Amino acid sequence: MASSPKSSAPPSLVAHYPQLSFGQLLNVPNALTLCRLFLIPVFLGMLSKGRFTTALYVFGAAAVTDALDGTVARWFDCRTEIGAILDPFADKLLLLSAFVALTTDNVMPGWLLGVVVIRDVVIVFGYLMISFYADERVPVRPSYLGKTATVFQLACVIGALSHLGASEPRLWRTLLHLTVVVTAASGVHYAYRGLAWLSSREPEMFA
């Protein structure tokens, strides 16, 4: 009797391979985040043409998607790993693009841009360093202070596009100074949280 032909690959490699459906990848929150990314070049294009009012509307639409994607993800429990990475990346890219463009146009002071960039560099570098030493993926959880700093930064961009400095110079200066303080404080807080998290897993490094 002839022997039955053998499979060319082990069954364990053929069956039960995890598949990620397109619907899981591009759900409503992730689609909103991608819309925010696509609006960034539109926003920068309006700024380059000096169309500040249109740029304000585009930036406002992008900010609305920022509020919606997290809310929808929580309400319908459809959070994904890629969404946890894309959402903060889109936020940082939107705000940094706005701050760099407005600072280049002399609408926003350079020292504010410096504080925002240094804080984001500290957060990203700290995250990569902790992930390297801990040899595991660190959960990304924004703090209330970090969310407050984001709100102030959004307010600064909206104020700059609305020419708040010309109409209400005292209010504009107050907003700038508060943004610097809250942004710097959130950077220090994130650094403290990162060190505390690392010390709980690698205590010999802090002995």
Tell me: the pLDDT tens digits for 3-50? 444 444 444 443 443 444 545 556 788 888 899 999 999 999 999 999
Within-domain flag for 78: yes
Axis crossing angle, helix 110-134 with helix 169-201, rounded to the nearest 10: 10
Residues 57, 129, single domain; the answer is no
Whether 3 maps to a domain, the answer reads no
- The values of phi and psi at residue 51, to 5°, are -90, 75
Instruction: Indicate the number of domains in the chain.
Output: 2
| Structure tokens, 7 | 């499979």
pLDDT at 1 (0 to 100): 46
Question: pLDDT of 159-176, one tens digit each?
Answer: 999 999 899 999 999 999
- Identify whether 187 is part of a domain: yes
Domain annotation covers residue 148: yes
pTM of this prediction? 0.80
Average pLDDT of the segment spanning 172-188: 96
Instruction: Give the residue, 103 or 200, on which the prediction is more confident.
Output: 103
Report yes or no: 30 and 20 within 8 Å, Cβ to Cβ. no
Mean of the per-residue pLDDT values of the chain: 82
Same-domain check for residues 120 and 66: no
Identify the domain containing residue 180 by its residue range.
Answer: 108-207
**In this structure, is the dihedral angle defined by the CA atoms of residues 45, 159, 102 and 152, taken in order, positive or negative?**
negative
